[in-house]
């Protein structure tokens, strides 16, 4: 009886029972920041497994989102006060990713419904979390978060890559995401969504590990773990460089 019921259910809701699955891999999971680090291209490729091939169902779409470590920022706005331009207004953004890239097979607002976006927080606007305060309503805060997106997009830190994923035969997909040179160290969670008619059918989560190595690692650790020694060392370098230049110039009698 129960078995029959399940079978019936499976027939009624094929997309649930015979859910398609997304599998994927990256060209590299570890990004090493060395002294001459100049950005890195990550190739993401994968396949869609199983599921009906019926024409009754809408086409599949793939969305890939990579996010850098969150930090708190303050967005300031200048306006004219007594004839001069100064910062007069500011909004605190409690959580803004240092890097965010969202790639998709088509325009993001078409391949992902608003409800699903709210649920999974995929679009750039939803990845940023700003608290409104007494002076700013939702509309007022929005202007500031939009400015944040605009400014960081200019530096390639925020990338909206609509239509950049190539999907072959509703089964294979691939894309390249360009990590810029000014990356912050940390774990970069990556999420892949498979959608149909704006609804998420399957998803996959993984991560990219970005870390400093070699000299970069050593300087960073020293600065944070032994700040006094680091500060004194910086001064010693400065003083000896100053002395060296003076000695060299005296020697060559310029």
Partner 1 sequence: MQIYLPIAEVSVNAFLLLGLGGLVGILSGMFGVGGGFLMTPLLFFIGIPPAVAVATEANQIVASSFSGVLAHLRRKTVDLKMGTVLLVGGLAGAALGVQLFAALREMGQVDLLVKLCYVVFLGIIGGLMFFESLKAIRRAKGAQTAPARKKHGLVHALPLKMKFRTSGLYISVIPPLIVGVFVGILAAIMGVGGGFIMVPAMIYLLGMPTKVVVGTSLFQIIFVTGFTTLMHATTNYTVDMALAVLLLVGGVVGAQIGTRIGARLQAEQLRILLSIMVLAVCFKLALDLLIMPSELYSIGTGGGH
The helix/strand/coil state of 170 is coil
Closer CB to partner 1, 184 or 204, in the complex: 184
Backbone dihedral angles phi then psi of residue 72, each to the nearest 5 degrees: -95, 135
Q: Verify binding: residue 223, partner 1, rule CB under 8 A.
A: yes
Q: Which residues pair with 162 in a beta bridge?
A: 104
CB of 80 to partner 1, least distance (A): 8
Closer CB to partner 1, 6 or 215, in the complex: 215
Closer CB to partner 1, 8 or 232, in the complex: 232
Q: In whole angstroms, what is the distance from residue 151 CA to residue 23 CA? A: 34
Q: Verify binding: residue 228, partner 1, rule CB under 8 A.
A: yes
CB of 147 to partner 1, least distance (A): 4
Q: Verify binding: residue 227, partner 1, rule CB under 8 A.
A: yes
CB of 69 to partner 1, least distance (A): 11
The helix/strand/coil state of 77 is strand
Cβ distance 184 to 68 under 8 Å? Answer: yes
Burial 214-252 (b: 16+ CB within 10 A, else e): eebeeeeeeeeeeeeebeeeeeeeeeeeeeeeeeeeeee
Cβ distance 181 to 37 under 8 Å? Answer: yes
* Span 179-208, contacts to partner 1 by CB under 8 A: 181-185
Q: Verify binding: residue 152, partner 1, rule CB under 8 A.
A: yes
The site map against partner 1 for 30-59 (x = CB under 8 A) is ---xxxxxxx--------------------
| Residue in 53, 54, 85, 138 binding partner 1, rule: CB under 8 A | 85
Q: In whole angstroms, what is the distance from residue 90 CA to residue 135 CA? A: 10
- The conformation of residue 183, written as its DSSP 8-state character, comes to P
The site map against partner 1 for 61-80 (x = CB under 8 A) is ----------xxxxxxxxxx
CB of 146 to partner 1, least distance (A): 9
Q: Verify binding: residue 83, partner 1, rule CB under 8 A.
A: yes
Closest by Cα among 26, 30, 66 to 156? 66
Closest by Cα among 42, 18, 9, 39 to 28? 42
Closer CB to partner 1, 6 or 245, in the complex: 245
Hey, what are 60's tokens? 């599949």
Backbone dihedral angles phi then psi of residue 105, each to the nearest 5 degrees: -80, -20
Q: In whole angstroms, what is the distance from residue 114 CA to residue 123 CA? A: 10
Q: Verify binding: residue 171, partner 1, rule CB under 8 A.
A: no
The site map against partner 1 for 113-142 (x = CB under 8 A) is ------------------------------
Binding stretches for partner 1 (CB under 8 A): 33-39, 71-87, 90, 92, 94, 144, 147-148, 150-152, 155, 181-185, 212, 215-217, 219-220, 223-224, 227-228, 230-235, 237-239, 241-246, 249-250, 254
């Amino acid at each position: 009886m129960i078995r029959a019921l399940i079978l019936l259910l499976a027939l009624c809701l094929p997309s649930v029972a015979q859910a398609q699955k997304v599998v994927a891999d990256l060209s590299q999971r570890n990004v090493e920041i060395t002294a001459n680090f100049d950005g890195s291209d990550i190739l993401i490729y994968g396949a869609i497994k199983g599921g009906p091939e019926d024409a009754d169902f809408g086409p599949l779409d793939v969305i890939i989102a990579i996010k850098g470590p969150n930090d708190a920022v303050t967005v300031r706005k200048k306006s004219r006060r007594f004839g001069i331009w100064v910062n007069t207004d500011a909004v605190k953004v409690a959580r803004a990713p240092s890097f965010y890239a969202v790639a998709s097979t088509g325009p993001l607002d078409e391949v992902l419904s608003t409800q699903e976006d709210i649920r999974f927080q995929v679009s750039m606007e939803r990845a940023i979390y700003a608290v409104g305060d007494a002076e700013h309503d939702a509309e007022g805060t929005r202007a500031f978060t939009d400015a944040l997106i605009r400014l960081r997009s200019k530096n390639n830190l925020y990338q909206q890559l609509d239509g950049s994923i190539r999907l072959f035969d509703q089964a294979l997909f691939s894309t390249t995401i360009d990590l810029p040179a000014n990356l912050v160290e940390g774990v970069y969670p990556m999420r892949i969504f498979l959608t149909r008619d704006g609804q998420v059918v399957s998803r996959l989560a993984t991560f990219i590990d970005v870390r400093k190595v070699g000299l970069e690692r050593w300087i960073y650790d020293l600065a944070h773990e032994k700040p006094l020694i680091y500060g004194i060392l910086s001064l010693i370098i400065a003083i000896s460089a100053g002395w060296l230049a003076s000695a060299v110039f005296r020697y060559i009698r310029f």
